[in-house]
Structure 1
């Protein structure tokens, strides 16, 4: 029997003979107040409302002499989340004491209306009613912490000093937490130094406030100061220190803290276990995190979500999906955080059908309007190739945060729809949402994919400065891509050599790929040699350099690149494509021979290629990196993994239904040309996600406009 049902039975037993009988013997006011407190503590609104109704009938709900009763009613509605009712009761009170003010401020704070707390505090101060005490000060400081209102927090600090309330330990804790939460670490440490004997709670407040922002380095300062006091840690301290180890990815210290917990015999609860799972996950020790989970006596939705997040952080996406089945078997229902992790795992696996099933379950469970779930749905549909469904989720989202806008902009970017991304960005600015680092990464990437040179340069040179966003590696890399794809190789190379960031091989490879596509082979060779010196293990650069030599029919150069790869033990990743049909994923490699229906698939490929030749298809044999006969080169091109996947999709799916193909490498020129013609021949939409972006083939055209 649950605790709530026990409370309900007790309330029924207390109330039935006194309030609901035909000839009730009404309880005393003291008894009614006790019943109201019991209802408040158990959040039993229905019974509490019944008591309130009886008090109104007896005309005892609003008398001045019943101040304690009015406070009990405010407390009831506060703890049941009924903010408006609590405020109405407060407003009609002819007399208020400090408990009345504290109750209404408490409900505002815990309902997310921290600004109302500050307004109430000012009203109380100037009303001439009882002066704020230490409890009021704690609530007000809490609201300053949540809203990061440092100036109001300083004013409250001044009142605390003037009113002589600093001697209360919980006021000290609230002050330290407020300064820490507002990132005034020096002030927090100064307060700790000023307190005659700061307790462990004060240090916990400082550490927790800083870690809420993810500032690990400042957290080590607090921890060092705490060690000087030689205080005995409690469970909250251990939780905060484990969070610090997580942020620092400090496995050694995390293991030591775990050992101290075992030595001290600290009882592990759900919160402690969850933090330990997160710590081991951040440090890459997923097996340790699993052991903590397996050893937990109580496994509620919080703990299940923690272990799912641990696997997600370590890119074990399939295991995340498997955990959902186990969770269902134990009868634990997912919450919004669980669904968010599951959707993001589905996105990284590109499992559109699984995502659809999760979406249906979310609607059924009532979580579709949660912001983080909506954001995860947009991400899942975008990465799974169903941009139309992502747009539907976005359009139906009633509340959008910065992540919502970023998800949609980046979704358009990955699908090469630059104009749509810029339109969404414009709507974002109209809605007065402030763009951040990730926003501009998505916008600039969209411009580079779509060849929107002027728009991209305007965002980079003007808008980023206007919104105070400092350009980083991702932004400069997008500009390199934008310039090089536009054929402005000199400017792109100049930017790579002069920009105030340290470029990685990815940025240089962007220039190299543009040289290959736009046939600037001399610059491409020079860039490739530079990148190989920078990173001798970068297989993509060797591949592009080999392709350049092949285009020029420099077979000695191709052989030299291959010899260099063998000497340096660099292996080219084989091309792999996959397609999901009826919840089964079919994987293909180039010139595959393992699939059970491979003969029929090869026959289908030959049939398709013979039909698109009259439409203008000519195999691009110039890109084949083998010095063999032309016929052999054509055979090599015919059975690339994406062609096999498309052929199988045409065999196994209904006519005119879209095909979703995923590939681990960039699609080659020949397959790109073939897919445009196949889409026209079959009257199908063919969506291929390669290593760089999505390509939507429809009616003989590609969404990239051959700009890729």
Structure 2
């Protein structure tokens, strides 16, 4: 033990040694018995401080006025151990360790409670060196002293030091065994935790609960439930927290039967009013897609606790009940239950899934009122919401407001910038990320490669891809290859793209060949497209995307016999082309349109506005590009089919419904055709509004006759 301590002291130095300390000299100079006798003689008349001073000090400490309490304390001639301990405890709680140590050093007599308090204070304040020094100098140690020092080591991941101290303990109670098991789990040493638990001479409910929780948190939910069964079989009565951990394990496994049984026991034992139990039950039923049971568990008792409401909110979102999720947040606020970071994050995620940016802005406003807009989790959700819903500038503003950014923050803004074709912004954010000391991960590189693809930055794309392949910490995945192939194809390097596919270390998947096929369409390379399509059909004979891309290429080239052959094949094997669909969100409601759609309640007004736009476009010299009319019909019918594409109908709806001058944001499930792209540039100039179109590839921002993609998409 002495050798271990000498080694420890020589290896770490967390803080400078306390100056003017007389701890060691005092202990070596005076024996504890003499010291205590002298102290009794001095204070036999006034053992406790006057009641008034003591109450004043206690009141100051209760209200966190530590300095005022110290002023009163300093005026007392003979403060006793009790009051000194309270002062030191307050210093430690406020991380003012030096002042606590100074007061500790001045105490003429220190009982074991004070020693243990200071050891724990040193550990909590990060000064383990001083904590170990005090531990060594203690005249007498009890099991709490040993356990406190062991917990200090475990807190900072010093497992081996904790193990040595644990072995040296003269007597071990169940609490220190539990502390070691918990410490092993907290530091990822799962197998050691299991072995130590099995070796425990005595186990209590805390021991079993620690095992159940630790195993579940490390992805071993099935083992956690097995230990729960063993615990019940041994006659140990679970606490409410034990049930909460077991139900959480059921939630992670999706074990509806086991969780329902646990719910039944909870009801019998009267634990249903416990906040953690209710939150766990709501999450459990939500994960098992039992949303009715989820609501029923919530309604078993009206909880004022934010954790329970947040569990319901998150559960609704997990079951695609996004409007209900936002409604839960509104009810929370209406009832005076203050949402936390998780509440806002879940509600923002639901708004994002609904593409309801107006609802998201309302939630953002509520978060600002509570000062949570700078929280990293709320901020990250805001960045994703705004960038996915077409407001990249608002996304950047939300990103800048985050105080303590993490890797998710940087990835979100880089990926968001890439989706909007803002390649230079993405690279600038990446540069700032590197300066802030963050290392890129696989998501970062996906965002960077996408930004290069959408912005035509071939050499930058090659640079990032080469960096990725040289990395020893990041694995190159198929999506990275797909991005690089897309970059090469968009830049006209089709042969290089095909060569990269053939030299991949793993077998290309569907997305790789589809990226190559899509690139062939942009450059009308039918020969390479047919080779790519052959590989796609070998992997998936029913790939509608491949059939449609190949058919469109034949149609653009006027090869109508080949178009007919593709369509007959699709009909024979039962493959259906996904229809082009566009939608717009207005006042929280989705309005969806198909090509030539006449089903909308405002159909007459929409087509009237469409005819008005048609005349305006012709006056501006617009001529439809019939290469994008993919049917073998007369030219006049081709023009009519092009003119009634779904995104144009959605734009007309917005023009007659949305506020004058507001930005029009349209979502589309397929790639925008070239003719629509040309037409919408002119429409934006005619109506003097910004029009944002998100297709399957990226966001297009149309303004004053131009598009943010620079006609490169």
- Scaled to the shorter chain, the TM-score interval is 0.7 to 0.9
From 624, 639, 642, the equivalent of 2:644 is: 639
- Is 1:695 aligned to residue 713 of structure 2? no
Indicate if the aligned counterparts of 1:509 and 1:531 stay in contact, CA closer than 8 A. yes
**Is it true that 1:45 corresponds to 2:63 in the alignment?**
yes
Distance 1:447 1:66 in 2: 71
Show the counterpart of 2:598: 593
Q: Where does structure 1 lack aligned partners over 5 or more consecutive residues?
A: 1-25
1:162 maps onto 2:162 in alignment: no
- Out of 536, 557, 560, which is 1:555 matched to? 560
Match of 2:295 in 1: 290
Given that 2:88 and 2:100 are in contact with CA atoms closer than 8 Å, whether structure 1 keeps it comes out as yes
Map residues 182-221 of structure 1 onto 2, 5 A cutoff: 182-212=187-217, 215-217=218-220, 220-221=222-223
Deviation of 1:685 after TM superposition, in Å, equals 2.1
Secondary structure of the structure 1 residue equivalent to 2:126: helix
User: For the Cα contact (< 8 Å) 2:256–2:288, is it kept in 1?
Assistant: yes
Shift of 1:253: 4.3
Residue 316 of structure 2 corresponds to which residue in structure 1?
A: 311
* TM-score (ref. length: structure 1): 0.83
Q: Secondary structure at the match of 1:116?
A: coil
1:56 to 73, 93, 117: 73
Pick the aligned partner of 1:82 from 94, 97, 116: 94
How far does residue 334 in structure 1 lie from its aligned partner after superposition? 1.6
Distance 1:414 1:32, change over 3 A: farther
**CA–CA distance in structure 2, aligned partners of residues 568 and 102 of structure 1:** 77
2:86 corresponds in structure 1 to 72
Aligned counterpart, 1:354: 359
Superposed CA deviations along residues 202-228 of structure 1, whole A, max 9, x for unmatched, are: 34324433544xx314x5456656766
1:608, distance to aligned residue in structure 2 (A):
2.4
The structure with more radius of gyration = 2
Q: State yes or no: 1:527 paired with 2:532.
A: yes
The answer on whether the counterparts of 1:317 and 1:348 sit within 8 Å (CA) in structure 2 is yes
Residue 627 of structure 1 aligns to a residue whose secondary structure is: coil
| Alpha-carbon distance between aligned partners in 2 of 1:284 and 1:141, rounded to the nearest angstrom | 43
Per the alignment, residue 91 of structure 1 pairs with 102
Question: Structure 1 residues 162 and 346 mapped into 2: Cα distance closer, same or farther (>3 Å)?
Answer: same
Partner of 1:447: 452
Q: 2: distance between equivalents of 1:309 and 1:294?
A: 16
- SS of the residue aligned with 2:80? helix
Cα distance 1:37–1:427, how it changes in 2: closer, same or farther (>3 A)? same
Once the 2 structures are TM-superposed, how far is the Cα of residue 175 of structure 1 from its aligned partner?
0.8
2:32 — aligned with what?
none
For 2:488 and 2:558, the matched residues in 1 are separated by 28
Give per-residue Cα distances to partners, 1:260-306, cap 9 Å, x unaligned: 65577755622122223223333333333233223244252111111
Q: Is the 8 A contact 2:445 2:468 kept in 1?
A: no
Q: 2:498 and 2:114 mapped to 1: Cα distance?
A: 69
Whether the 8 Å contact between 1:549 and 1:555 is mirrored in structure 2 is yes
**Contact 1:525–1:545 (CA<8 Å) still a contact in 2?**
yes
Decide whether aligned partners of structure 1 residues 254 and 608 sit closer, same or farther in structure 2, where only a CA change above 3 A counts.
Answer: same
Alignment partner, residue 551 of structure 2: 546
Q: Is the 8 A contact 1:189 1:222 kept in 2?
A: no
Aligned to 1:673: 678
State whether residues 137 and 156 of structure 1, in contact with CA within 8 Å, keep that contact through their aligned partners in structure 2.
no
Using the TM superposition, give the Cα deviation of residue 322 of structure 1 relative to its aligned residue in structure 2, in angstroms.
2.3
Q: State whether residues 36 and 76 of structure 1, in contact with CA within 8 Å, keep that contact through their aligned partners in structure 2.
A: no
- Cα shift readout 1:195-251 (whole Å, capped 9, x = no counterpart): 223444234324433544xx314x545665676674436243333333333334444
Q: Is the 8 A contact 1:174 1:205 kept in 2?
A: no
In 2, distance between residues paired with 1:655 and 1:267?
Answer: 53
Gaps of 5+ in 2: 1-45
1:8 alignment partner in structure 2: none
CA distance in structure 1 between the aligned counterparts of 2:629 and 2:526, rounded to whole angstroms: 16
RMSD, aligned α-carbons: 3.5
User: 1: distance between equivalents of 2:562 and 2:314?
Assistant: 47
Deviations 1:7-54 (A, max 9, x none): xxxxxxxxxxxxxxxxxxx996497899799979xx9526x7699378
SS in 2 for 1:83: coil
Counting matched residue pairs gives 662
CA–CA separation in structure 1 for the residues paired with 2:415 and 2:443: 9
Q: Do the aligned residues in 2 keep the contact of 1:575 with 1:665 (CA within 8 Å)?
A: yes
Aligned to 1:385: 390
1:602 aligns with 2:607: yes
How many Å separate the matches in 2 of 1:440 and 1:132?
Answer: 55
- Aligned equivalent of 2:325: 320
User: In the alignment, what sits opposite 2:617?
Assistant: 612
**Residues 645 and 130 from structure 1, CA distance in 2 versus in 1: closer, same or farther, beyond 3 angstroms?**
farther
- Give the CA deviation at 1:406: 1.4
Which is further off, 576-585 or 327-336? 576-585
Structure 2 counterpart of 1:400: 405
Q: Does 1:510 pair with 2:515?
A: yes
Q: TM-score, normalised by structure 2?
A: 0.83
- Aligned mates of 1:689, 1:182 — CA distance in 2: 45
